[in-house]
């Protein structure tokens, strides 16, 4: 019975173009993705036919300019897409998130024209991309990288191991970070574009996760992997800047994912509260349930406002780091809370896999962890407040 209830997003403060864009994605998510969510979650695999349809719909190249085969849309629209997909399946949302707000933006912002013309059309048409920063000893301390890149003529030889890499099972292109000058610390970190079939490069074990199970998370193994110097993104030693600025933007999309997840859970709870009968009337007529739904709706709306504000600041070229951290911190908190309350509204059946809320509850947990833990977001917010760099 998963996916039984229709889910809507409150369409506040959107232009007509953005409303149409959002409605199209919501319809796709309900009609094409929803019927397969439970099976994909249990198998831990995202269907290839759905991935192909996401490319055909333009969801994997939202901001890529039309001259490169993309949609020529905005960052805000990428966030809308992530939010809409997450109401049905947060796994689908994170696939689109990493492709757009992370991988595509790295190439758009730091790639040279040769790299853009070679890879952007592929990213828009049929090639999934992945962002490979984390390692066993480099999580929140993202720049304690042990992966090394050694210059060898017109190439680099890269050796190391990456962990917890999203989209790795499906990806054909990897934006991978390695230290090309370890004696210079984080100033040696460099971003390399690596194609999947590169000799010495291998996608390793896939993680068996609590939530967002259809989204692949794998290790990467590099053993004397030869990468042309022409595949350096930006400049040697600029990887730390690329990673920081990219993750600052990506956090807004994670806030969108968590907002969409919470919105989906709320929609299911409202629908069930109207249908479930106890003591001769719908449980939605009981004040206790009404208060719960009211609090859930308020949290979702607050998260949406924070997320949209951060996305619009980014599109306007205004400072947004504090707002992005606030949006991710709050949205990830309320996603977990709202999904938990949705399970409670459903009661005993909410604890079973026959209804979608238990999956949303499992999916919500990652929001506090990836692309910067909640504690890291608090540090960013506090640091900016104390330094006076925040407008708050």
Catalytic residues: 371
**Can you read off the two tokens belonging to residue 225?**
């992997």
Question: For residue 29, which of 73, 87, 77 has the smallest C-alpha distance?
Answer: 87
Burial of 268 (0-12, 13-18, 19+ CB in 10 A): buried
* Share in percent of the chain as helix, strand, coil (round to 5): 55, 15, 30
Distance between start and end Cα atoms, the chain:
45
Rounded to an integer, what distance in angstroms lies between the CA atom of residue 132 and that of residue 178? 9
DSSP symbol at 135? B
Sort strands 217-228 and 155-166 into parallel, antiparallel or unpaired.
antiparallel
Residue 55: closest CA among 136, 134, 170, 161 = 170
> Which tokens sit at 363?
């999916």
Give the integer Cα–Cα distance in Å for 43 and 29: 19
Identify the residue whose tokens are 């991935």: 51
| DSSP labels, 223-252 | EEEEEEGGGEES-TT-HHHHHHHHHHHHHH
Given a contact cutoff of 8 angstroms between Cβ atoms, the answer to whether 293 and 273 are in contact is yes
CA neighbor of 99 nearest in space, from 145, 147, 57: 57
Look-up of token digits 């209804």:
355
């Amino acid at each position: 019975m998963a996916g039984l209830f229709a889910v809507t997003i409150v369409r506040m403060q959107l232009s007509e173009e953005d409303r149409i864009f959002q409605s199209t994605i919501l319809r796709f998510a309900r009609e094409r993705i929803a019927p397969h969510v439970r099976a994909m979650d249990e198998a831990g695999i995202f269907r290839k036919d759905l991935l192909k349809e996401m490319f055909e719909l333009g969801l994997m190249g939202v901001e890529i300019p039309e001259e490169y085969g993309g949609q020529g849309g905005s960052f805000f629209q990428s966030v809308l897409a992530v939010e809409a997909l997450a109401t049905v399946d947060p796994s689908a949302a994170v696939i689109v998130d990493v492709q757009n707000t992370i991988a595509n933006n790295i190439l758009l912002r730091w790639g040279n024209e040769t790299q853009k013309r070679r890879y952007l059309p592929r990213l828009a048409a049929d090639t999934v991309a992945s962002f490979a920063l984390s390692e066993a000893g480099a999580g929140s301390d993202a720049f304690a990288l042990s992966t090394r890149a050694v210059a060898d003529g017109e190439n680099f030889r890269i050796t190391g191991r990456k962990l917890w890499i999203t989209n790795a099972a499906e990806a054909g292109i990897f934006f991978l970070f390695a230290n090309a000058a370890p004696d210079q610390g984080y100033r040696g970190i460099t971003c390399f574009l690596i194609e999947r079939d590169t000799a010495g490069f291998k996608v390793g074990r896939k993680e068996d996760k609590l939530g967002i199970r259809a989204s692949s998370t794998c290790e990467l193994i590099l053993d004397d992997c030869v990468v042309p110097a022409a595949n350096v993104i930006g400049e040697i030693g600029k990887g730390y800047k690329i990673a920081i600025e990219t993750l600052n933007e990506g956090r807004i999309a994670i806030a969108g994912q968590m907002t969409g997840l919470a919105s989906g859970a709320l929609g299911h709870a409202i629908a069930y509260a109207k249908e479930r009968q106890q003591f001769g009337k719908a449980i939605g007529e009981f004040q206790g349930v009404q208060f719960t739904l009211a609090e859930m709706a308020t949290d979702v709306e607050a998260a949406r406002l924070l997320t949209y504000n951060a996305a619009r600041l980014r599109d306007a070229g205004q400072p947004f780091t504090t707002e992005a951290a606030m949006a991710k911190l709050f949205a990830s908190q309320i996603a977990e809370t709202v999904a938990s309350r949705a399970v409670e509204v459903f009661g005993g059946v909410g604890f079973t896999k026959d209804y979608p809320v238990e999956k949303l509850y499992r999916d919500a947990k990652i929001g506090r962890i990836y692309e910067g833990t909640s504690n890291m977001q608090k540090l960013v917010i506090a640091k900016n407040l104390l330094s006076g760099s925040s407008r708050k």
